[in-house]
Amino acid sequence: MLRMPVSQGCLCVVKYLMFVFNLIFWKLGGCGLFGVGVWLSFTQSEFSSLPLSFPSLSAANLLLVAGGITMITGFLGCLGALKEQRCLLFTFFLILLLLVLTEVTLVLVIHIFHDQLDSKAQKELKEDMKMYESNSGLKNSWDNVQKMFKCCGVTNKTDWYNVLQGKLPLSCCSVGTQTCVEGWTEPCYQKARKWLIKNITSVLVFGVCIGVVQILALVFSMLMYCQILSAEKHLD
């Protein structure tokens, strides 16, 4: 006779624990990542015409996508916990499991193939430089990048020599310079990457915390699913 109250009590505890974790996951995780993505997009809007392989632009788009998916997934988890619906909980579990596996795979791929990914991104940016004179939007983006970071070229200032017949764009030098001969010595790809790492460290720590919450949400969603299934069997 005591089995039903105990089962219902466990279900109630798991239900509210899952709701709390999903609220954190939804509010802090999804909204936080999306917000940082929006901030990064706005700060990089001056060179939005560059390829998405540019470090800060690729990070902004990645955070926007991750934040959007996290918000939707967290909302499903909150709704499933409150409504105690197996279908919603199972859907939430599958989406979250897929999200966690994707995140782990992405981290491993970036860690293992970071040199190849960097080389590919730099090659794409160098190819894009060839349209510097014919594409005004791209020209403005490159000029803004080089002025902002005080850098020149993708990997070296000599990247511009094939594009501008042995010359450097004025943005490779200090403002007010009539002709640019020497140019900034630091490459833009590495300078932008350093800037990104410096400004996004807190986001990475935040991401680790969200990963822990994701794993806990997975555990609680499965526990709640099993509790609901057990309660339905008892009712039958």
Question: Residues 150-164: what's their mean pLDDT?
Answer: 88
The per-residue pLDDT for 74 is 75
For the cut 80, the answer to whether the pLDDT of residue 150 exceeds it is: yes
**pTM of the full structure:** 0.61
- Mark out the alpha helices in 44-159 (DSSP H runs): 55-83, 86-112, 114-129, 136-149
CA atoms within 13 A on the CB side of 125: 30
Condensed to tens digits (0 to 9), the pLDDT of residues 56-73 reads: 556 667 777 877 887 777
Place of tokens 């499903």: 76
The per-residue pLDDT for 58 is 61
Distance (Å, whole) CA 23 – CA 4: 28
Distance (Å, whole) CA 88 – CA 221: 10
Condensed to tens digits (0 to 9), the pLDDT of residues 198-214 reads: 776 666 776 777 777 77
Q: Which of 121, 132, 116, 143 is nearest to 190 (CA)?
A: 121
DSSP SS3 for 182: coil
Computed over its alpha carbons, how large is the radius of gyration of the chain? Answer: 25
The per-residue pLDDT for 34 is 77
Condensed to tens digits (0 to 9), the pLDDT of residues 132-149 reads: 888 887 888 888 888 888
Q: Which of 226, 234, 233, 212 is nearest to 14 (CA)?
A: 226
26 φ, ψ (degrees, to nearest 5):
-75, -50
For the cut 70, the answer to whether the pLDDT of residue 7 exceeds it is: no
The per-residue pLDDT for 234 is 62
On average, the pLDDT of the chain sits at 76
